[in-house]
Amino acid sequence: MNAPFDRSAAAPGAGAADLDLPKPYLLFLGDAADTTFLKTGLGLRDWAPELCIAEHKCAGAAATLGIPEMTPREAHAAGARALVLSAASIGGAIREAWLPYLVEALEAGLDLIGGTHDRLGDSPPLRQAAQAHGRRLIDVRVPPPGLPVATGRRRSGKRLLTVGTDCALGKKYTALALAEAFRARGIDADFRATGQTGIMIAGRGIPIDSVVADFVAGAAEMLSPDADPAHWDVIEGQGSLFHPSYAGVSLGLLHGSQPDIFVLCHAHGRERIVGLPDYPLPSIGRAIEMTLQQARLTNPGVRCAGVSLNTAGLTVEEAEKAITGLTREWGIAVADPMRRGPAFERLVDGCLA
- For each of the chain's 353 residues, which pLDDT tens digit applies? 444 333 333 443 445 667 889 999 999 999 999 888 898 999 999 999 999 999 999 999 999 999 999 999 999 999 999 999 999 876 678 999 999 999 999 999 999 999 988 999 999 999 999 999 999 999 999 999 999 999 999 999 999 999 999 999 999 999 999 999 999 999 999 999 999 999 999 989 999 999 999 999 999 999 999 999 999 999 999 999 999 999 999 999 999 999 999 999 999 999 999 989 999 999 999 999 999 999 999 999 999 999 999 999 999 999 999 999 999 999 999 999 999 999 999 999 999 99
Name the nearest CA neighbour of 137 among 158, 111, 99, 117.
111
In the chain, the domains with their CATH numbers are 22-139 (3.40.50.720), 158-352 (3.40.50.300)
For residue 199, which of 250, 142, 161, 137 has the smallest C-alpha distance? 142
Q: How many CB atoms lie within 10 A of CB 186?
A: 7
Burial classification of residue 12, based on how many CB atoms lie within 10 Å of its CB (0-12 exposed, 13-18 middle, 19 or more buried): middle
For 353, residues 6+ apart whose C-beta sits below 8 A from its C-beta are 305
Q: What was the pLDDT predicted at 6?
A: 38
Q: Tell me the C-alpha distance between 159 and 295, whole Å.
A: 12
- Return the bridge partners of 139, or none: 114
| pLDDT at 272 (0 to 100) | 96
Contact 143, 219 (CB under 8 A): yes
